């Protein structure tokens, strides 16, 4: 009887994912949901054939160099792979996969929540009611920004960006977007394409970020670009915290150049940036873009599908390195 490949689930995953993994692999579970250090990842690599990590496990060039040659595949439980040095992993002969498609709608829903929450002062209002401080009402009380008939800019018109575009159709928003390449008319659905980020920013009453974190996009929203947006614009980010220069955004929020922001991701995670905590005009979430039961099950299944294909001698569907 052929022994099963040894698979390490780096974090506690959905029940359905863990049950399927236990059925098909010799699994090393993380029942306490411990976040492993680089040294612990390297040590564990001596015991396993495959690793199924989340975004919290970082495979830098140094970590990759020290990984055991036993590891043959890293099947990520995420779409983003900026926690993996793909060139180093490729050079070491380790296959890398991700989980696209299955979390687009869930993440777009969170983007919608962030846009609405920021525009209508949701966190500020919630705090007021909970604190017992709501003791008056007037025509100028908690006035926010209306989305209907405004212009929405989307940076990165991949699966999530297009899912958001569908969600906002009911708000009669005018959609403008920047992407590395223009979409086909069928996918574009009447949205206006711009061949530079700067041109999109100039017309964006609302802006939602949906591009990956790459050397080219880190710090994308800096002081200069924030200043290009219409005064009083609203920014939402569900992609990666590193896309935004947080100091620049805090300045823009304090000055009113940016009226409000909705953020699900931060440069430093977990924890976020405490400077945002002092601002009423920021709606904050703890990186929960894909956090629905349906999506987390689907992500786990997609990662296991990639592992199954690899160990069957086939090309994994979602190979990125």
Q: Are strands 6-9 and 50-52 parallel, antiparallel or unpaired?
A: parallel
Set 18, 174, 188, 269: catalytic member: 269
What's the pLDDT at 275? 98
Per the annotation, the verdict on 287 as an active-site residue is: yes
Q: Output the pTM of the full model.
A: 0.94
Give the tens place of pLDDT for each residue, 90-113: 999 999 999 999 999 999 999 999
- Residue 269 annotated in active site: yes
**Rounded mean pLDDT, 81-91:** 97
Pinpoint the residues of the chain covered by CATH 3.40.50.720: 6-101+293-311, 104-284
Supply the CATH classification number for the domain 6-101+293-311. 3.40.50.720
For domain 104-284, say whether CATH 3.40.50.720 is its number.
yes
Q: Give pLDDT tens digits for 228-259.
A: 999 999 999 999 999 999 999 999 999 999 99
Which of 84, 92, 93, 23 lies closest to 52, judged by CA? 84
Q: Which of 1-5, 114-118, 274-278 has the lowest mean pLDDT?
A: 1-5
Q: Is 240 a catalytic residue?
A: yes
What is the model's pLDDT at position 2? 67
Question: Residue 33, class by beta-carbon neighbours within 10 Å (0-12 exposed, 13-18 middle, 19+ buried)?
Answer: exposed
Write down the pLDDT at residue 272: 97
Residue 1 clears pLDDT 70, i.e. is over it? no
Q: Which of 151, 287, 296, 302 is catalytic?
A: 287
Task: Please say whether the beta carbons of 28 and 49 come within 8 A.
Answer: no
Determine which one of 55, 194, 210, 240 is catalytic.
240
């Amino acid at each position: 009887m052929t022994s099963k490949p040894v698979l390490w689930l780096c974090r506690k995953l959905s029940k359905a994912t863990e049950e399927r993994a236990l059925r098909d692999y010799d699994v090393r579970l993380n029942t306490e949901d411990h976040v492993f250090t680089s040294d612990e990842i390297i040590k564990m690599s001596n015991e396993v054939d495959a690793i199924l990590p989340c975004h919290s496990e970082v495979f830098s060039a140094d970590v990759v160099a020290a990984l055991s040659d036993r590891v043959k595949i890293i099947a990520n439980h995420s779409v983003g792979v900026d926690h993996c040095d793909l060139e180093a992993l490729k050079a070491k002969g380790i296959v890398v996969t991700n989980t696209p498609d299955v979390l687009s709608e869930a993440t777009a829903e969170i983007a919608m929540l962030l846009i609405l929450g920021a525009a209508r002062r949701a966190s500020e209002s919630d705090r007021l009611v909970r604190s017992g401080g709501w003791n008056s009402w007037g025509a100028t009380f908690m006035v926010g920004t209306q989305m209907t008939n405004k212009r929405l800019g989307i940076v990165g018109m991949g699966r999530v960006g297009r899912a958001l575009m569908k969600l906002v159709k009911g708000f009669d928003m005018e959609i403008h977007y920047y992407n590395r390449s223009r979409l086909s008319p069928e996918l574009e659905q009447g949205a206006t394409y711009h061949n530079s980020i700067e041109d999109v920013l100039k017309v964006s009453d609302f802006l939602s970020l949906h591009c990956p974190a790459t050397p080219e996009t880190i710090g994308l929203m800096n002081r200069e670009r924030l200043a290009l947006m219409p005064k009083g614009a609203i920014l939402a980010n569900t992609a990666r915290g590193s896309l935004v220069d947080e100091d620049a955004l805090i300045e823009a929020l304090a000055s009113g150049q940016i009226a409000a922001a909705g953020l699900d991701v931060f440069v430093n995670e977990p924890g976020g940036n405490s400077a945002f905590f002092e601002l009423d005009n920021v709606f904050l979430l703890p990186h929960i873009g894909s956090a629905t039961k349906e999506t987390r099950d689907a992500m786990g299944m997609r990662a296991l599908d990639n592992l199954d294909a690899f160990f069957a001698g086939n090309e994994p569907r979602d190979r990125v390195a």
